[in-house]
Structure 1
Amino acid sequence: MSNERRPILGRGENLVEPITKSSGGGPKKYPRSYSEALELVTSNLKQLESEITKIPEEKRMNKIVVTVRLHEDFLAKSYTPETFFRNLNYENIGSRKWITDSGKESKMNFIKLDPNNIDNNIKTLTSFNTKSFKDDLRKIEEINILNVDETVLGFEESWDNGRVELVLHPFEETQLVLEKLYSLLDLTAEQRQKVKYKKYDNGPLFVSTIISKDKLKNVAEFNPLRTVHPLKVEVNSFSKDPFIVKVKEPVAPPIPTKKIGIIDGGVNLGNPFFSSYVTQNFEVASPPSNMFTQHGSNVASMALYGDLYGMKKDEQLMPPILGIESIRVFPTSDSDDIDLYESIDLIEEAVPKLKDVDVFNVSVGPIGNILDDDISRFTTALDQLSYDYKKLFTVAVGNTGSKPSPLNRIQSPADMVNGIGVGSYSINQGGDYSRAIYSSVGFGREGCKIKPDLCEHGGSTSRPLQVLNSDSFSMNNVMGTSFSAPVVAKKAAELMLKSKDVGVLTARALLTQNASNEIQEVNHELGYGACISRTDDILTCSKNKVTILYNNEMSVKNSAKLRIPLPQNSSAKKYKISWTIVSDTQPNPLFAEGYTSTALEDTFYPNENKFNYRLGKTSYARNIVHQSKEIQELKAKGFNQSTIQASSTPMKFASEADRRNEQKWDTVVKRSKVCLAKTLDYPFLTVHALDRETTKTRVRYSVAITVEALNYNGDLYDEIMNEYRVLQPINVQLENELRISNKF
């Protein structure tokens, strides 16, 4: 097969089988005794009762939202004090991260309670004698009302007035909550009509309105309020003076069969470079503006033609193989005050209707770094659309990378967990790349700590990108993450165009698997690294580097075994095995520190026949085929065999963000391991489906595993094909074949 094309291998799901894993862990150590906890909780409830009486009627509902703050050792979902909540009739309505006085990360739960019952709660605390209730009390550090400085987030001292986003806790009486909010803001009837809000099922109430600084403190004390932060949009990519267009439009172009969705300021459809390739069926009611149409057209130019920097004068462009569906979401009704909620409303209307568009790009968003304690409506909306309709969003991370921390952190909605946050790299004279100085940095939030996910060339002052303008006679030198993101969108859509075996999750897995960074190099500046240049290279293998796809779904709480097709008849001495796992998840904006409701936890097992034998804290790994005598001796001494084989999972990452926390709940996992052949015997991965605070029972996933035989003169691809006949090369049309068959 040495002279033939070698497509990556599909149907890896035929190598998947269910398994049962034992749950580990021992008894949990509690920070205080039950009697100490009882005294602490009693004191907190008495103080809480006093605090609630001081809340004015206009700043509260009949039920009050308070925080139950847990000890730092009890972050997991399984430690939520559900028995405490249930016995005292407290409704758990969300959670978010909480930094303790000692600087440790913990979490707070928001609960809704009837203040008239607190006195009775105090009296009945000692009547609950179950172990679960007593243990719940021992987890609690504080019970109190959220402080104003915990609700007002992201405002600079110079801020005087402007549009804000308020996130309110869920109440059944939505209209009554809004009426009280309007009264606190002292809004006229006309002003109330301009307020935009959105209530999601099982989610918070999001409100967009204009507010002044003197009203901010007043509304910050509104008990149903969870957070408030500034909400401002501007186009902050960089461009220089335009110059005369140097290229010619394609001749007799056919209409591409597959399109990318570009969510931006619109495209000039009268421009012959765009007219045959762009449609625009969804637009906000307000007329287009030159500034936003220019930005949208520049982004569309990158999506259709890429960087035109190296093109010669009068060189004719190749017809693009992908078209564009432009969704014009800017400017909104008042061009001086962009109301992002108008834009999101249109996005939520358009995306479900565009059934043939799988990939959407977003290169415009709100100003301001993401906040761990706060989930924006924009992020929530895109994550929900992605999950419900199986769409992929690529999002520019922002251009604040040169600002001091934390102002240089990525911007919403690049923090979405079901999409790809795209940063920019620049290229020096030697051809090496590094993060572009303007490109915003990670880390991301819980569920997507590695942000940006991927990087693309975004241009620099010394080596800009060149794009077509809105008009047909000029071009611009530009730079910015706005122009990196559509290139990643184009590559994702190309993968799906070139192979019907590649869906949204698989495209994301393949782009991540083939990104430039090795795992130990992952960092908060470049994420998984630079995107590979050609998608043809992603879809094909070399004779000794083979990629296998596993596309499947599984029930939550279950585990599955993914066999790695390592041929027994190969004489290779050393292998590198790398894998990327991507899943999608139902977003949960009520639980900021638990935003991903499902995830997959992976473990690598190099040898199917090697088990651990344990006695107390002593453990030995032994091979049941080659070390049976030693195993019998261990068993005679009382050693017990593990229920599953001995694992050898490498460290996930070695970045600063990852040293803070493992990415247990992330929707993307990328790892690799170099192994001597003699240590491998039917190796496999296991994936365990985790869930928290969700009614969803299934997890969709895609896995790309690459097996590379190092310094090997044989043909690993043929060896795998001969031994694992359940695998099949995926159907692929490479770019030249597409152009010939479609006469591009």
Structure 2
Amino acid sequence: MSDNNRRPILGHGENLVGSFSKSNGGGEKSYPRSYEEAVNLVSSKLESLKADISAIPLNKKLDKVVVAVKLHESFLAKSYTPDTFFRNLDYENIGSRQWKTESGKESKLNFVKINPDNIENNINELMGFDTESFKNDLRKIEDIGLLEAEDIVLGFEDGWEKGRVELVLHPFEDTNIVLEKLFNLLNFSTEERESIKYKKYENGPLFVSLNISKEKLSNISTFNPLRTAHPLKVEVNTFNQEPFPVRVRAPEVLFEPSKKIGIIDGGVDISNPFFKPFVSQTFEISDLGSDQFLKHGTNVTSMALYGDLFDKYDNEKLSPPLLGVESIRAFPSTDPEDIDLYESIDFLEEVIPQLSEIDVFNISVGPVGSILDDDISRFTTALDYISYNYKKLFTVAVGNTGELDVPFNRIQSPADLVNGIGVGAYSVESSGEIIRAKYSSIGFGREGCKVKPDICEHGGSSERPLQVLNPEFYSMSNVIGTSFAAPVVARKAAELMLKSSDVGVLSARALLIQAASNEISDINAELGYGACVQNTDEILTCTENKITILYNNEMSVRNYAKLNIPLPQNSYAKKYKISWTIVTDTYPNPLFSEGYTSTALEDTFYPNENKFYYRFNKKARKMHIFKDADEIKKLEEQGYIKSTIQASTSPNKFSTEADLRSEQKWDTVVKKSSVHYSSTLEHPFIVLHALDRGEGRNRVRYSVAITIEAIDYEGDLYEEVLSEYKVLAPIGIKLESELRISL
């Protein structure tokens, strides 16, 4: 089919959403020990804890002490938190993280604040609480104690002696008391104290940025309110060759772009004629800037506006960009030799809410060092808060550490954000095969975004670099790196919204991932969901026999929604491929690193609304309630009972919470596909179940892109769907060719 015959994707899929009810079963939970054994274990742990707390110097603890309660590996889910145990002993649960058992299994550790003077009474009271919930809570516990320093100080290289460090401290009611204790412990001068930056989020941890020596870090590593400490070094980590004379001409200024992308970087010299008509720089951090960061910001902006200039012929006049750029100069900070990332984050938290007309922002600068599962940086937390509260989309370069040894090759913060897109880089083999660029940092991501990078874009290679414009109007450079892949994805996301008012932040993200090249059954740590489609017109349009339907909606937590898939009953196609991408946003909870996403959607695919399971003892038969009516009657006479819901082809439950996590249950993105003969499909649908972790979030926003492909079909599936499902309609779009003509 020619491009001229492509048709708009279909919108208003939310009109096909119906209600669905489902009973949540669950058998009796198996516990690792008896109640009597649990009492003895917990009593001995509390006795040891009392002695350990007494050994903490007074200047390293507050009136209340934070201790770690480790649970057995079978009790990883939030619902298994021993709340009755905590409540009865007056322990305050203030966060959690993963921990590995001696056998290497994944389990959960809860941080709780306790009054050490009450430990003896706690031991005596253990046998006094006679409720079943308290007894079962006691049986979940593996250990109670203080964390060792090596579990707190994370990510430092062997040769590290001094530098900027991010401290994450447990929440206490009076932040000033915690900080005063910390500052006294550090023995900082007044000038040194004034250079320290900190941020306390509502219902979140206290983040602190400071410059510190190895000796002083060792001293505070046993400061009881300290949760984690990790290095916080920022540098421009890209591959950049010597500049050469500019070989293209600036575009003719025919219009002012109606939509802009936010580029958060080192700024742009807007006197350059390639940038002046299309770039504004309203907000700048208070420092004087630096040539290094200015060059990086300009190169990134060049990619956002014009893309790769490698294939342009000499003296070619560039086409005016469809989108403009709002350059937000957030780097470097006051001291270019010691970049305080907190200055930049404070600046972004103030500026971005003011840019209400900009939906998409790109970040290609961040701290050096791979992410850590037990530690969430302030940068990541801040972006996820902004994304959720202001409905913004961030594209973030994952980093260029892909050639380092494991685990130093893992993606870098803040590309581990759950409400945005972490962008990796691919290169193209001589055969045309797309592979991960060897420098591109790899996944996995953290809980809530296991698939990282989300998608990849061409980032160049030594054999085939990207070409970009420099700050000086007379020069350009060859560049390589994820820094230059990320703004291209940002541009494509913004283009989708520019070309159609029916596409918002969530649906742009869903459409980009749905159209990406990979269809994965396992987590892909190299390319994520695959390479980004080159032309956004392809994302917004369908062919005769491959159509995409967009569903935009929200739902209450713990409820179910039935997304009916518009498969036409009058079609003669013999085989279909059905694929879907689900995207949500979530309020982040940095106190619970293993439960960072407060809400999520669980999906189950049902190919036939008239097929149910009939079960008797351990036997099960899948039957069509109309076509198999006679046989069903015989089964019912034998004692078979019909299931309350239709038969699915997706797993309804998994054996453990660890299995659920490996299936990305709590992730904000899900991408799946399934191929079926038409004879097995009858009014298929997907059921969404809105999950929450009991933190007061009542609604879940979502966007779903479902693609139906009729395989080897000579009819017109697109028209058949529109004819049968009148509630759907083509979205309003302007193709790039139309936009350029009108401009």
Per the TM superposition, whether the score is higher than 0.5 is: yes
Q: Which amino acid in 2 is paired with 1:583?
A: T
Q: Which amino acid in 1 is paired with 2:343?
A: E
Kindly provide the CA deviation profile for residues 683-709 of structure 1, in whole angstroms up to 9, marking residues without a partner as x: 000000000042110000000000000
Moved over 3 A (4+): 1-5, 657-660
| Match status 1:349 vs 2:350 | yes
Instruction: Quote the Cα distance in structure 2 between the aligned partners of 1:566 and 1:299.
Output: 43
Instruction: Quote the Cα distance in structure 1 between the aligned partners of 2:248 and 2:114.
Output: 67
Q: Which amino acid in 1 is paired with 2:315?
A: D
CA distance 1:11–1:230, shift in 2 (3 Å): same
1:5 Cα shift?
A: 4.4
Give the corresponding residue for 2:682. 681
Matched ranges for 1:123-522 at <5 A: 123-520=124-521
Q: RMSD of aligned C-alpha atoms?
A: 1.4
Instruction: Quote the Cα distance in structure 2 between the aligned partners of 1:24 and 1:519.
Output: 29
Instruction: Quote the Cα distance in structure 2 between the aligned partners of 1:616 and 1:146.
Output: 48
Unaligned runs of 5+ in 1: none
Instruction: Quote the Cα distance in structure 2 between the aligned partners of 1:573 and 1:508.
Output: 31
Instruction: Quote the Cα distance in structure 1 between the aligned partners of 2:610 and 2:152.
Output: 54
1:216 Cα shift?
A: 1.1
CA distance 1:521–1:88, shift in 2 (3 Å): closer
Instruction: Quote the Cα distance in structure 1 between the aligned partners of 2:692 and 2:573.
Output: 40
- Is the 2:264–2:361 contact (alpha carbons within 8 Å) kept by the matching residues of 1? yes
Q: TM-score, normalised by structure 2?
A: 0.98
Kindly provide the CA deviation profile for residues 648-689 of structure 1, in whole angstroms up to 9, marking residues without a partner as x: 12899xxxx999822010000000000000000000000000
Instruction: Quote the Cα distance in structure 1 between the aligned partners of 2:643 and 2:520.
Output: 29
Instruction: Quote the Cα distance in structure 2 between the aligned partners of 1:658 and 1:268.
Output: 51
> Once the two structures are aligned, what percentage of the paired residues are identical?
66
Give the corresponding residue for 2:707. 706
1:429 Cα shift?
A: 2.1
SS of residue in 2 equivalent to 1:121: helix
Kindly provide the CA deviation profile for residues 703-744 of structure 1, in whole angstroms up to 9, marking residues without a partner as x: 000000000000000000000000010000010111122x2x
Give the corresponding residue for 1:586. 587
- Is the 1:273–1:472 contact (alpha carbons within 8 Å) kept by the matching residues of 2? yes
Q: Which amino acid in 1 is paired with 2:387?
A: S
| Match status 1:664 vs 2:665 | yes
Q: Which amino acid in 1 is paired with 2:288?
A: P
Kindly provide the CA deviation profile for residues 169-202 of structure 1, in whole angstroms up to 9, marking residues without a partner as x: 0001100100111111111111111100000000
Give the corresponding residue for 2:546. 545
Give the corresponding residue for 2:723. 722
1:286 Cα shift?
A: 0.6
| Match status 1:113 vs 2:111 | no
Instruction: Quote the Cα distance in structure 1 between the aligned partners of 2:694 and 2:183.
Output: 32
| Match status 1:556 vs 2:589 | no
SS of residue in 2 equivalent to 1:519: coil
Q: Which amino acid in 2 is paired with 1:128?
A: F
CA distance 1:353–1:193, shift in 2 (3 Å): same
Instruction: Quote the Cα distance in structure 1 between the aligned partners of 2:660 and 2:119.
Output: 41
Instruction: Quote the Cα distance in structure 1 between the aligned partners of 2:732 and 2:513.
Output: 21
Give the corresponding residue for 1:6. 7
Kindly provide the CA deviation profile for residues 86-114 of structure 1, in whole angstroms up to 9, marking residues without a partner as x: 11111110000101111111010000111
- Is the 1:165–1:231 contact (alpha carbons within 8 Å) kept by the matching residues of 2? yes
Instruction: Quote the Cα distance in structure 2 between the aligned partners of 1:212 and 1:521.
Output: 42
SS of residue in 1 equivalent to 2:368: coil
CA distance 1:587–1:570, shift in 2 (3 Å): same
Instruction: Quote the Cα distance in structure 2 between the aligned partners of 1:629 and 1:171.
Output: 67
Q: Which amino acid in 2 is paired with 1:185?
A: L
Q: TM-score, normalised by structure 1?
A: 0.98
SS of residue in 1 equivalent to 2:362: strand
- Is the 1:282–1:346 contact (alpha carbons within 8 Å) kept by the matching residues of 2? no
- Is the 1:396–1:421 contact (alpha carbons within 8 Å) kept by the matching residues of 2? yes
Give the corresponding residue for 1:607. 608
Instruction: Quote the Cα distance in structure 1 between the aligned partners of 2:396 and 2:95.
Output: 27
Q: Which amino acid in 2 is paired with 1:582?
A: V
Q: Which amino acid in 1 is paired with 2:615?
A: R
SS of residue in 1 equivalent to 2:331: coil
Once the two structures are overlaid, the 10-residue window that deviates more, 82-91 or 624-633, is: 624-633
- Is the 2:92–2:112 contact (alpha carbons within 8 Å) kept by the matching residues of 1? yes
Instruction: Quote the Cα distance in structure 2 between the aligned partners of 1:425 and 1:604.
Output: 32
Instruction: Quote the Cα distance in structure 1 between the aligned partners of 2:631 and 2:64.
Output: 65
Instruction: Quote the Cα distance in structure 2 between the aligned partners of 1:404 and 1:251.
Output: 48
Give the corresponding residue for 2:691. 690
Give the corresponding residue for 1:568. 569
- Is the 2:396–2:422 contact (alpha carbons within 8 Å) kept by the matching residues of 1? yes
SS of residue in 2 equivalent to 1:531: coil
1:617 Cα shift?
A: 2.3
Instruction: Quote the Cα distance in structure 2 between the aligned partners of 1:487 and 1:114.
Output: 53
CA distance 1:30–1:522, shift in 2 (3 Å): closer
SS of residue in 2 equivalent to 1:513: helix
- Is the 2:604–2:652 contact (alpha carbons within 8 Å) kept by the matching residues of 1? no
Unaligned runs of 5+ in 2: none
- Is the 1:650–1:672 contact (alpha carbons within 8 Å) kept by the matching residues of 2? no
Instruction: Quote the Cα distance in structure 2 between the aligned partners of 1:614 and 1:351.
Output: 56
1:637 Cα shift?
A: 2.0
| Match status 1:534 vs 2:535 | yes
Q: Which amino acid in 1 is paired with 2:428?
A: I
Q: Which amino acid in 1 is paired with 2:548?
A: T
SS of residue in 1 equivalent to 2:542: coil
- Is the 2:548–2:707 contact (alpha carbons within 8 Å) kept by the matching residues of 1? yes
SS of residue in 1 equivalent to 2:395: strand
1:366 Cα shift?
A: 0.1
1:618 Cα shift?
A: 1.8
Instruction: Quote the Cα distance in structure 1 between the aligned partners of 2:661 and 2:104.
Output: 12
Instruction: Quote the Cα distance in structure 2 between the aligned partners of 1:162 and 1:122.
Output: 44
- Is the 1:650–1:673 contact (alpha carbons within 8 Å) kept by the matching residues of 2? no
Kindly provide the CA deviation profile for residues 394-433 of structure 1, in whole angstroms up to 9, marking residues without a partner as x: 0000000000000000000000000000000011222222
Instruction: Quote the Cα distance in structure 2 between the aligned partners of 1:450 and 1:724.
Output: 34
- Is the 2:241–2:479 contact (alpha carbons within 8 Å) kept by the matching residues of 1? yes
Give the corresponding residue for 1:40. 41
- Is the 1:19–1:560 contact (alpha carbons within 8 Å) kept by the matching residues of 2? yes
- Is the 1:515–1:529 contact (alpha carbons within 8 Å) kept by the matching residues of 2? yes
SS of residue in 1 equivalent to 2:422: strand
- Is the 1:650–1:671 contact (alpha carbons within 8 Å) kept by the matching residues of 2? no
Instruction: Quote the Cα distance in structure 2 between the aligned partners of 1:306 and 1:353.
Output: 27
Instruction: Quote the Cα distance in structure 2 between the aligned partners of 1:212 and 1:346.
Output: 27
1:235 Cα shift?
A: 0.3
Kindly provide the CA deviation profile for residues 59-105 of structure 1, in whole angstroms up to 9, marking residues without a partner as x: 00110000110000110111010111111111110000101111111
Q: Which amino acid in 1 is paired with 2:153?
A: V
Once the two structures are overlaid, the 10-residue window that deviates more, 372-381 or 250-259, is: 250-259
- Is the 1:253–1:276 contact (alpha carbons within 8 Å) kept by the matching residues of 2? no
